[in-house]
Amino acid sequence: MKVVIVGGVAGGASTAARLRRLDERAEIVLLERGPYISFANCGLPYYIGGIISDRQKLLVTTAQSMSTLFNVDVRPDSEVVAIDRAGHKVRVRERSLNGTCHEYEESYDKLVLAPGAVPLRPRLPGIDHPRVFTVRNIPDTDAIQKFITENHPKTAVVVGGGFIGLEMAENLYRRGLQVSLVEMAPQVLATLLDPEMAAFVHHHLRAKGISLYLKNAVTGFFSQPDGSLQIALQHGSPLSTDLAILAVGVRPETALARQAGLEIGAAGGIAVDAQLQTSDPDIYAVGDAIETPDWVSGRRAPVPLAGPANRQGRTAADALAGRPAQYAGALGTAIVQVFDWAVAATGSTERSLQEAGIPFESVILHPLSHAGYYPGGTPLTIKLLFAPKDGKILGAQIVGSQGVDKRIDVLAAAMHFGASVFDLQNLELAYAPPFSSAKDPVNMAGYVAGNVVRGDLAVAHWHQVEALRAAGWWILDVRTPQECKDGQIDGAVNIPVQQLRQRLDEVPKGRPILVYCAVGLRAYLAARILQQRGFGPVADLSGGYRLYDAVTRDKSLIEEDLARLEETA
């Protein structure tokens, strides 16, 4: 069997290595368009930031070591430009060291496409300006490094608030640049976070000195006489800057597949079945170029993440070796470092659930990363999305400084098994004071959500407060008077939960009540007291004042910024 693999990074390299382990005698040819195989894609921003100081570290596996260890015929600088499906061969354009190209044909029994994704490049004036960079591969990264080293830029504008955008903002900041971030949406990380969770990230970025331009779009890139770059915006005056990073997303690289007449899915990725076979039974495809079923909704979409790409490579190799192989889909579990914070998510956001027409409820809580009595714990903000009927978990989002990765991984593992919020209550997680609490944040999320599913607790959300007030709900703040001094929801009446049983005569009968505290726990106690004593109906403000304050302040700041930009334009 002769297997030709097109693309030698995550998915392609995994396919080759696994296939060799399964089949010592297969002929395996790995064709990579770029100069390097298996490079550390996800590490590129950190090399620019100087955290990864040795460029060699980015080359996880070299062509040489892949060839020696796995007996794979590795050919870098070799682009496949056409597939001849009938003839079972590909046309390869090889670039030699002196830059000349020559083309040849390579036959295959089975072909694996792992071409990856390409950065989106909106058709804007000046998009090809030499100071506008993307960050997708080693040559891109070398170009940015070279520019920074030679030109000592003082300022940078990052266009796009996704993973790469935020990682580049952080790493350019680390290199000493003043960084602005422009994002068309009203929030960063829109594929990962719902708006109220993103609000925490916005405040964190502002606190670190990143200038945020949200709900704003770049309309063009222009040269200034001094050589620097001028970036025109939808709202406000242009930004002058020394360089720009374009990070507005990626799309599946499907040119070759389209040219070969392979089926392309509705979401724009190469269509594959559960064995990762394309519409041609002799061609498999893996990685960022394909679309796979979403774990929650079943809807097919590209998932440009390294973990799924590696797993798909392994699956395709199993299939090629004639073993049982099945790729069931992706949760989309992802995490991104944002300065000293981590932001992570798994499963669906509210937006994607709405689009898929799946009913959901959510809770937000702010547990400490470890036992409160042990020093150094920091709050996590956890949002859990679940089916209102049976509590099946639909998604989770976490923001915080410590233990974010641990909790999202436990939630992703639980979702893998189709867990409900009641399962979360009973997970027996490791507790010692430096690591967690006797009730881990994941257990707590299960308890709060379980209360909602069982009907012990009704929740209201930050965006419903105005409507509830307008509908005549009484708003009860059960924090201490001291806490209320730093801000309250308009019109709230303060009765500390500790005094509630003694001051029930101050609570109106027969009127719906919205109750809140700082994070949600005391409001829950208050809600239980009031409900059982015949008041209400009572709803608890999910996420408490901490969330309400963060999201309303963020919204004000965004609107104020836009107004000021328009004014000064």
Residues 146-165, interacting with its own copies (CB under 8 A)? 163
Spatial contact of 179 and 49, defined as CB atoms under 8 Å apart: no
Per-residue contact flags (x/-) with its own copies for residues 386 to 405, judged by CB under 8 A? -------------------x
Is 467 near its own copies (CB under 8 A)?
A: no
Is 525 near its own copies (CB under 8 A)?
A: yes
Residues in the chain: 569
Binding positions for its own copies, 1-40, rule CB under 8 A:
10, 21-25, 40
Task: Classify residue 279 as exposed, middle or buried by CB count within 10 Å of its CB (0-12, 13-18, 19+).
Answer: middle
**Nearer to its own copies among residue 417 and residue 482 (C-beta):** 417
Q: Which of 30, 20, 11, 218 is nearest to 126 (CA)?
A: 218
The count of chain residues that interact with its own copies, using the rule CB under 8 A, is: 88
**Nearer to its own copies among residue 244 and residue 247 (C-beta):** 247
Is 206 near its own copies (CB under 8 A)?
A: no
Give the C-alpha separation, 482 to 270, whole Å.
Answer: 59
Is 371 near its own copies (CB under 8 A)?
A: yes
**Nearer to its own copies among residue 83 and residue 444 (C-beta):** 444
**Nearer to its own copies among residue 220 and residue 433 (C-beta):** 433
Q: From the list 184, 335, 356, 493, which residue makes contact with its own copies (rule: CB under 8 A)?
A: 335
Give the C-alpha separation, 44 to 40, whole Å.
Answer: 7
The number of beta carbons lying within 10 Å of the beta carbon of residue 428 is 7
Which residues, including other chains, have CB under 8 Å from residue 253's CB and lie 6 or more apart? 115, 116, 117, 118, 288, 289
Is 532 near its own copies (CB under 8 A)?
A: yes
Give the C-alpha separation, 284 to 185, whole Å.
Answer: 36
Give the C-alpha separation, 11 to 289, whole Å.
Answer: 10
For the four alpha carbons of 304, 347, 189 and 357, in that order, the dihedral sign comes to positive
Binding positions for its own copies, 74-133, rule CB under 8 A:
none
Q: From the list 293, 433, 464, 483, which residue makes contact with its own copies (rule: CB under 8 A)?
A: 433
Give the C-alpha separation, 521 to 261, whole Å.
Answer: 58
Is 306 near its own copies (CB under 8 A)?
A: yes
Shortest distance (Å) from residue 568 CB to its own copies:
37
Establish whether the linkage from the previous residue to 537 is cis, with ω within 30° of 0: yes
Decide if 42 is catalytic. yes
**Nearer to its own copies among residue 135 and residue 243 (C-beta):** 135
Is 410 near its own copies (CB under 8 A)?
A: yes
Q: State how far Cα 324 lies from the chain centre.
A: 31
Shortest distance (Å) from residue 432 CB to its own copies:
5
Shortest distance (Å) from residue 464 CB to its own copies:
24
Give the C-alpha separation, 55 to 46, whole Å.
Answer: 11
Among the residue ranges 175-183, 212-220, 307-315, 535-543, the one whose residues contact its own copies (CB under 8 A) = 307-315
